[in-house]
């Protein structure tokens, strides 16, 4: 029985599950948004928020204990926090961003650093997917979609049907080009014939002279 078991297994052994959460946490802190399935997103949120809390406490500075009158040195507390975070995050750039940018951003926020947005169901296996993002992130999915529709080229046709349709469009385009070229050639030929006829008429009048005096 799974009584008092707090976390999901996600169909993986412990080592694989922890490695997956570490990789997803690194990607989320680097890009400030991540799309995954809903069970993984629910497991990822507390994992990432714990790291942000550790970074906040390290950046906050020295703490004074009520029972002991001494104060912990700020640099030692920050170093300890960095070491604890680097047990789960192996990317030094992400760790630096966490302590330099994200921890000061959430300094006045008492928890709830992430947001989960359900996006629907994935095509293929119908798994429910969601987007996990940091609160206050500058990421705007609608702006990304608009930018993609303006700048991205037309996608290539996939599958046999798509390739056949693309080939038919190319054939129709080639036929239209041939027809327009033939029309232009006919017009050019007619124009040249008219010029020749006009030249012959002018030459005949010059050689025969005027017929009024006869």
For residue range 131-145, what is the model confidence (pLDDT) as tens digits?
A: 999 998 755 655 655
User: Do 186 and 85 have their domain in common?
Assistant: no
User: Do 113 and 170 have their domain in common?
Assistant: no
Would 204 be classed as within a structural domain? no
pLDDT band at 30 (very low <50, low <70, confident <90, very high): very high
Predicted TM-score (pTM) of this structure: 0.59
Predicted confidence at residue 52, as pLDDT, reads: 94
Would 113 be classed as within a structural domain? yes
Would 181 be classed as within a structural domain? yes
Would 6 be classed as within a structural domain? no
Would 71 be classed as within a structural domain? no
Reply yes or no on whether the pLDDT at 195 is more than 70.
Answer: yes
Would 214 be classed as within a structural domain? no
Q: What is the rounded average pLDDT for all residues in the chain?
A: 80
User: Do 121 and 186 have their domain in common?
Assistant: no
- Mean local confidence (pLDDT), 163-178: 74
Would 197 be classed as within a structural domain? no
Give the structural domain span for 170: 162-192
- Mean local confidence (pLDDT), 22-46: 93
Asked if 156 contacts 165 with a C-beta cutoff of 8 angstroms, the reply is no
Strand pairing report for 114-121 and 128-134:
antiparallel
User: Do 97 and 178 have their domain in common?
Assistant: no
Q: Which of 1, 21, 24 is nearest to 10 (CA)?
A: 21
Three-class secondary structure of residue 72 per DSSP: coil
- Say how far apart CA 141 and CA 155 lie, in whole Å: 20
Q: Which of 156, 145, 53 is nearest to 103 (CA)?
A: 53
- Provide the number of structural domains found in the chain: 2
- Residue 117: strand pairing partners: 131
Would 47 be classed as within a structural domain? yes
Half-sphere CA count of 200, side-chain side, radius 13 A: 6
User: Do 180 and 109 have their domain in common?
Assistant: no
- Mean local confidence (pLDDT), 83-106: 92
Q: Which of 96, 79, 87, 85 is nearest to 30 (CA)?
A: 96
Predicted confidence at residue 87, as pLDDT, reads: 92
Reply yes or no on whether the pLDDT at 46 is more than 50.
Answer: yes
Check residues 139 and 34 and name the one with the higher pLDDT: 34
User: Do 99 and 29 have their domain in common?
Assistant: yes
User: Do 84 and 171 have their domain in common?
Assistant: no
Q: Which of 128, 137, 144, 117 is nearest to 29 (CA)?
A: 137
User: Do 111 and 172 have their domain in common?
Assistant: no
Here the CATH number for the domain that contains residue 35 is 3.90.1030.10
**How is residue 86 written in tokens?**
């680097």
Asked if 132 contacts 28 with a C-beta cutoff of 8 angstroms, the reply is yes
């Amino acid at each position: 029985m799974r009584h008092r078991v707090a976390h999901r297994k996600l169909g993986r052994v412990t080592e694989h599950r922890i490695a997956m959460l570490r990789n997803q946490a690194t990607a989320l802190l680097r890009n400030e948004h991540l799309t995954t399935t809903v069970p993984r997103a629910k497991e990822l949120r507390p994992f990432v928020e714990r790291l942000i809390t550790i970074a906040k406490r390290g950046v906050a500075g020295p703490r004074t204990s009520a029972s002991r009158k001494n104060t912990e040195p700020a640099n030692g507390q920050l170093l300890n926090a960095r070491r604890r975070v680097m047990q789960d995050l192996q990317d030094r750039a992400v760790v630096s961003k966490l302590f330099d940018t994200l921890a000061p951003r959430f300094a006045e926020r008492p928890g709830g650093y992430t947001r989960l947005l359900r996006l629907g169901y994935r095509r293929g296996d119908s798994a429910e997917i969601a987007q996990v993002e940091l609160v206050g992130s500058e990421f705007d999915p609608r702006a990304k979609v608009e930018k993609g529709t303006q700048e991205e080229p037309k996608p290539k046709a996939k599958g046999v049907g798509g390739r056949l349709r693309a080939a038919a469009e190319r054939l129709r385009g080639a036929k239209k080009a041939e027809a327009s070229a033939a029309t232009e050639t006919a017009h050019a030929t007619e124009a040249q014939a008219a010029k020749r006829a006009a030249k012959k008429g002018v030459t005949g009048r010059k050689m025969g002279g005027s017929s009024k005096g006869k």
